[in-house]
Amino acid sequence: MQGLKRAQTLMGRRWAIIGMLIVLAAVLMLRSLGNNTIGYPDADRILMDGVFMADVMRDMPLGAPWGYAQAYFVQYPALSIGYRPPFFPAVEGLFNIIFGINMWSSRLALFAFVVTGLCYWVKLIEQVADRRVAAWSGALWVSTPFLAQWGWYTMAELAVLGMTIAAIYYLYRWVETERLTDAFLMAVFIGLAGWSKQTAAFLALVVVGYLLARGKLLWAVRRPGHWGAFALLLVLAVPLALMTIAFGDQNIHQSVGQGDADSVSRWSLANWGIHLKTLAEMHLTLPVLILAGAGLIVAGVKRQRQAVLPLVAVVSIFVFFSLLMGKNPRYPIFWIPFWCFFATLPLALADLRRGLKVAYQGALIVIVAFQAYSLYQREPAFVSGYDQAAKIAVREANTTGIFIDAFNNGYFTYFVRQADKDRSHYVFRGDKLLSSSSISTQHWLEVHMTKAEEIRKAFDDLAVSIVVVESINYAEVPIHDILRQMLEGPGFERIATIDIASNRVMSSVTDMPRFEDQQLYIYRYLNAKSEMSGEITLRLPVVGQEVSRSFEKNDKDR
């Protein structure tokens, strides 16, 4: 009984609830924190974005920021800033400056957003419902395997989630208190969410939907002070929109565009069922799905006012992401906390007997434990060997140029920058110089070279002395096979072979090889030129741009 009383006392204190949720989140999301083989597609680009922002903060290129960014991409071609917004990478960059360039500092930066989200979640839900619901719903979504796993990789979704919860908190406070300060803070956090990832635009539907549900849309529009908050939001949103239009060819194609040839029509019944199927099969565990459905029904029958804001959030997210052509299960992740709210909402019923509440909480303890166990049964995606290859390449390169032809080129580039303390080397990618494509190897494919002589000339012009390739030509474009044949011929010496260990396939595209079925080969170019000359052009079909750089003799500076 004493233990139960102590637990109830802790559950009544906000700081204790937040502390316990942060500990739970840390145990689940910071798993294998020091393991630099953990990786996921796109996470490598966001890692490199963080390093770029750290270098920007060190160098402060205020005189020519665009030229600096272009030159940086030529040197370390693994950036996605422009295609992706820079707010999370900026925070990541601060952590890289403080703790060094390493994956664990970037993961800690991401975890800071999770902590922010948890703090605002508890504050929001204890006002919408009560502190007990805040605690248990927080524990449910933090331990939800599909959501928690993104703490293992430097993906932007959890950063957006943290800012989203903060924005919705201030939306609720603004409507409840009618304080102008809350309207401005709401605008700030909506802006920060958008500058973390553009998909945070769904918050516009949440704001309008909640104002309509509360009958305050005209109040929001007519009060003069609110226009200042709306103006602030525009100031934050317009540059982001312009950046997305300028650098977001692929973003636009897979969101508001028509999508790929195999995409379903956005107005078809099949399209509107995709995320509901994802919710049932991937986003929620079966116990939470059942409780969430029951909680939603109870809220409707009891006409619980507490359900209005979470329901608006769920519907807004469903509508927004159903209208987008891209249907990655990760995209609508933001509705998971609100479904967890419905799973715990019966605890807020005034007429629910104490014994039933105790039993319900006992069931929630079991579910949280089950979800945590299920998460630990999952092995994080990993690929080993690229960090070792990068260290060898930097150590053995006797010129500035290092060439990489590999699917996992982003992580290799990141590890080169990590090892290249004085930033004296350039990484040149085969999938930019030999051929280029967007997202998959055949999408918007362009072939830039067809002969071994062209490759050798590029090596000479770019002072390449070390070449790293995956043993399998993942691109299935002939010029990449020609490269591998050339490397086994005269003028090249294989200096290292690294076995790749991994539990990943190279891509979700059918028949793509597994990483573990190949090796990394490292070659020395015996006739390497000592200085770079000529011009390099990198095609970036993802953003619809080209980046060029001319090199003169003795040109080693960005």
Please write the tens of the pLDDT for every residue from 194-223: 999 999 999 999 999 999 999 999 999 999
Three-class secondary structure of residue 539 per DSSP: strand
pLDDT the model gives residue 436: 85
What is the arithmetic mean of pLDDT over 79-97? 95
Handedness of CA 212, 213, 214, 215 (dihedral sign): positive
Name the pLDDT band for 253 (thresholds 50, 70, 90): low
Residue 297: predicted pLDDT: 96
Categorize the per-residue pLDDT at 476 as very low, low, confident or very high, splitting at 50, 70 and 90: confident
- What mean pLDDT do residues 246-275 have? 74
Please check whether residue 557 lies inside any domain of the structure. Answer: no
**Residue 503 pLDDT > 90:** yes
Co-location of 459 and 361 in the same domain: no
| Model pLDDT, residue 504 | 87
pLDDT digits (tens, 9 = 90+) for 112-127: 999 999 999 999 999 9
H/E run at residue 151: none
- What is the pLDDT, as a whole number, of residue 534? 80
Q: Is the pLDDT of residue 555 over 80?
A: no
Are 109 and 92 a contacting pair, CB within 8 Å? Answer: yes
Q: Are residues 292 and 390 in the same domain?
A: no
**Does position 257 have pLDDT exceeding 70, yes or no?**
no
% of the chain beyond a pLDDT of 90: 80
Is residue 138 located within the same domain as residue 16? yes
Is 67 a domain residue? yes
3-state secondary structure of 182: helix
Q: What is the pLDDT of residues 163-176, one digit of tens each?
A: 999 999 999 999 99
Q: What angle do CA 79, 152, 438 make, to 5 degrees?
A: 35
The predicted pLDDT at position 557 comes to 45
Residues 224 and 329 in one domain: yes
State the total domains in the chain: 2
Based on the domain organization, do 341 and 477 belong to the same domain?
no
Model confidence at 558, pLDDT cuts 50, 70, 90, reads very low
**DSSP conformational letter for 296:** H
pLDDT surpasses 70 at 508: no
d(CA 116, CA 308): 23
Among 282-286, 298-302, 552-556, which range has the highest average pLDDT? 282-286
Q: Residue 94 has which token pair?
A: 């601060």
Q: Is 546 helix (H, G, I), strand (E, B) or coil?
A: strand
Bridge partners, residue 493, by sequence: 524
Residue 14 structural domain: 2-377
Domain boundary among 347, 377, 407: 377
Name the band, by pLDDT with cuts 50, 70 and 90, for residue 247. confident
> CB neighbours of 42 closer than 8 A, spacing ≥ 6?
80, 155
Considering the domain boundaries, does residue 497 fall inside one?
yes
Does position 356 have pLDDT exceeding 80, yes or no?
A: yes
Any domain includes 558: no
* Predicted local confidence at residue 510, as pLDDT: 57
Look at residue 3 and tell me whether its pLDDT is greater than 80: no
User: Do residues 362 and 399 share a domain?
Assistant: no
Q: Which range is least confidently modeled, 206-210, 221-225, 370-374, 399-403?
A: 221-225
Q: What is the mean pLDDT of residues 312-335?
A: 96
pLDDT of residue 264: 79
User: What pLDDT, on a 0 to 100 scale, did the predictor assign at position 214?
Assistant: 97
Do 162 and 91 lie in a common domain?
yes
Give me the mean pLDDT over the 182-187 stretch.
98
| 137-164: average pLDDT | 98
**Which segments within 304-458 are labelled E, that is strand?**
401-405, 426-429, 435-436, 446-447
pTM metric for this prediction: 0.93
Q: Is residue 153 part of a domain?
A: yes
Predicted confidence band of residue 556 (pLDDT cuts 50, 70, 90)? very low
DSSP strand pairing (464-470 vs 519-525): antiparallel
Phi, psi angle pair for 318, to nearest 5°: -60, -50
Alpha helices in 324-353 (DSSP H): 336-344
Domain boundary among 377, 400, 425: 377
Decide if 556 is inside a domain: no
Q: Given a cut of 90, is residue 485 above it in pLDDT?
A: yes
Of 377, 408, 439, the residue at which a domain comes to its end is 377
Residue 446: CB atoms within 10 A of its CB come to: 11
Same domain, 367 and 446: no
Indicate whether 261 pLDDT > 60: no
Q: What is the mean pLDDT of the chain?
A: 92
Which whole-number Å values give the CA distances from 185 to 319, 321, 414, 483, in the listed order? 25, 25, 35, 55
Same domain flag for 308 and 189? yes
Question: Is 477 within a domain?
Answer: yes
Q: Does 518 lie in the same domain as 438?
A: yes
Q: Which residue has the tokens 């204890």?
A: 126
131 and 274 assigned to the same domain = yes
Q: What is the spatial distance between Cα 164 and Cα 120, in angstroms, rounded to a whole number? A: 10
Distance between CA 64 and CA 378 in Å, rounded? 46
- Cβ burial 278-309 (10 Å sphere, 16+ → b, else e): bbeeebbbebbbebbeebbebbeebebebbbb
Q: Which residue has the tokens 């959501």?
A: 147
Average pLDDT over residues 445-461: 94
Residue 291 counted as domain residue = yes
Of 453, 449, 451, 523, residue with least CA distance to 488: 523
Round to whole Å and give the CA distance between 239 and 447.
34
316 and 450 both lie in a single domain: no
Q: What is the pLDDT of residue 538?
A: 81
